[in-house]
Amino acid sequence: MNSLQQFRLLIEEELQKINYPTTPEKLYHPIEYVLSLGGKRMRPILLLMAHQLYSKDVSKAISPAIAVEVFHNFTLLHDDIMDNAPLRRGRKTVHEKWDNNVAVLSGDTMMIQAYQLVSTVDSDILKEVLEVFSKAATEVCEGQQWDMDFENQLDVSISEYLKMIEYKTSVLLAASLKMGAVIGRSSSEDADNLYEFGRNLGIAFQLQDDFLDAFGNPETFGKKVGGDILANKKTYLYLKAMEMSDIAQKEKLEDYFSDKYFNENEKVKSVKEIFSELNIPTLTKQLMMEYHEKAISHLDMVTSEKKEPLYAFLKLLFDREN
């Protein structure tokens, strides 16, 4: 049984092994750049972990694992264009380092490459693996569109928000696990339970992201605490607070989450105070734990004896402080 660290190392090695054509340079250099920026590599690791539940031969899972990582990085690349983001993992985004056209086209090429890597699986399971992958890929795009729509939408319900983060974040984690299972020739029940494990884990993970962004420890968080508040992002914390607040609190929140100018520290402090008055940190953690427990219940149902790395991964994920 492989440890998390071994899986991560394997992914990094395989990513470095990819030989991109040298020309057109503006097409392939950005792909190498974006894949070299690092990241948690959660999706390929989950795919490999699901695969090893059923098979000792990791070789069949490597290309599809790289595929989900390449696809994920393609979505980051195009999301960064859409969000006009200057930085990704502390480095210049592709559209900043090159330009928008380069970012659009190298992203497109990455998506094709992801499909090429998925297509290396055995012929008899290729159709099923592609179905899982394409469904998730479509949902990721839908999630991104909803996320952009919500910026200009006055009323976003909590169920709409949860659906959005499920599509934007969870389904690719879920699909990675299911693909690993299918490639490892699991039963379809196990594959579906692993999908549900990933889907719930992903939602819990995103809720934790929302929580840490406002209430993380500034010493260990890595980013500026309060970034979502400063960006007027309609996170779960904000939406739940709007639901729970009285008229005065609601007015205050709406005021802070408008485009008016406030002193940054003052704004973060005041919004967090309202969140705390309304018990939002606890409510967020409770909802996160609900999804976390649902995730575990699905993993419990998986019939393999080699689930330890997945439990360990889940534990590590929710012990994180950034």
Of 121 and 212, nearer to a second copy (C-beta) is: 121
Which of these, 43, 49, 37, lies nearest to 7 by C-alpha position? 49
- Residues 69-128 binding a second copy (CB under 8 A) are 78, 81-82, 100-101, 104-105, 107-109, 111-113, 115-116, 119, 123-124, 126-127
Distance CA 309, CA 271 (A): 39
153 near a second copy, judged by CB under 8 A: no
Of 234 and 298, nearer to a second copy (C-beta) is: 234
Of 129 and 314, nearer to a second copy (C-beta) is: 129
- Residue 2 structure tokens: 């492989």
Least spacing, CB of residue 96 vs a second copy, in Å: 15
Distance CA 6, CA 264 (A): 42
**Total residues contacting a second copy (rule CB under 8 A)?**
36
Least spacing, CB of residue 107 vs a second copy, in Å: 8
Of 68 and 278, nearer to a second copy (C-beta) is: 68
Distance CA 313, CA 23 (A): 39
Of 5 and 123, nearer to a second copy (C-beta) is: 123
Distance CA 320, CA 280 (A): 20
Residue type, 236: Y
User: Looking at residue 166, what DSSP letter applies?
Assistant: I
- Residue 27 structure tokens: 């097409």
Residue 133 CB contacts under 8 Å (≥ 6 apart), including other chains = 67, 68, 71, 115, 118, 175, 179
- Residues 122-141 binding a second copy (CB under 8 A) are 123-124, 126-127, 130-131, 134, 137-138, 141
Show the binding pattern over residues 207-236: x = contacts a second copy (CB under 8 A), - = does not: ------------------------------
Distance CA 230, CA 240 (A): 17
Residue 281 CB contacts under 8 Å (≥ 6 apart), including other chains = 211, 215, 237, 275
Of 99 and 254, nearer to a second copy (C-beta) is: 99
Distance CA 158, CA 140 (A): 19
Burial degree of 115 (CB within 10 A; 0-12, 13-18, 19+): middle
Of 102 and 194, nearer to a second copy (C-beta) is: 102
Among 144, 170, 245, 284, indicate the residue that binds a second copy (CB under 8 A): 144
Contact positions vs a second copy (CB under 8 A): 21, 24, 26-27, 78, 81-82, 100-101, 104-105, 107-109, 111-113, 115-116, 119, 123-124, 126-127, 130-131, 134, 137-138, 141-142, 144-146, 148-149
